[in-house]
Amino acid sequence: MKYLPLGLVLLFALSLCNLSEKFKHGKSTSGSGTSSSSSSGSGTSVGSAEHGEATPAQLAALAGGQDAKWERQGMSFKVPANWKEVTSEAKELTWSSPGSEASLIVSISPMDENFPTDVSINAYYDGAKTRAKNGEVDELKWVEIDGLKGVQFREANPEKPDDFRRLQWMAYRKFAGQVQFVNVMLATNGQGFPKHQDEMYGILYSTKITH
């Protein structure tokens, strides 16, 4: 099996921040004139977000696991006992399974205080919706995790078994006086996804996040 190159995974994570950077100094186009920092959204789709809750199988995949704490960002996750921390920096946290077959990559992007979070998060949803129409995404929904609402999507099984496949959740929050884009990604290759799927969903839904 070809293992997931961590550098490329991080590149994917950072590339998804590009849309946010384009909006960074923009003005909100919502009627309020100021942006929301809660990613509550201006449409009914965000308001109807489902609660992210692990299934029994997903909980079982994390049985006997450990806490992956990111204290500088007020976040934590439950990960399997055999996963190891790879990176813990101010804006990036990475944990990986043995052999780096699967990874948890979390990134934080600070935004301008007037950043239009509603516009941006809806743009992420629309982008993923377009990918779903093109067959690139097979799961897309608004999901609330620890009281924070965001966009969750899962990429479709790749044509080549060694190509990447990601489970991702994105949201905005206000933390430490900043508006921040939060990007939580669980990744492996197509061949390894079924093996790691329960633990990846379990990790995602175990997220604890201060906001």
Q: Indicate the SS3 state at residue 72.
A: helix
User: In the prediction, which pLDDT does 18 show?
Assistant: 45
Q: Which neighbouring-strand residues pair with 105?
A: 94, 185
> How far is the CA of 145 from the CAs of 33, 134, 137, in angstroms?
27, 27, 21
* Residue 34 pLDDT exceeds 50: no
Exposed, middle or buried: residue 70 (CB in 10 Å: 0-12, 13-18, 19+)? Answer: buried
User: In the prediction, which pLDDT does 48 show?
Assistant: 87
Distance CA 176, CA 171 (A): 16
Q: How many CB atoms lie within 10 A of CB 100?
A: 16
Superfamily of domain 6-24+35-209: Mog1/PsbP, alpha/beta/alpha sandwich (3.40.1000.10)
Distance CA 124, CA 171 (A): 10
Domain ranges of the chain: 6-24+35-209
| Predicted confidence (pLDDT) per residue in 125-179, tens digit | 999 999 999 999 999 999 999 999 999 999 999 999 989 999 999 999 999 999 9
Mean pLDDT over 46-51 rounds to 79
Radius of gyration of the chain (CA): 16
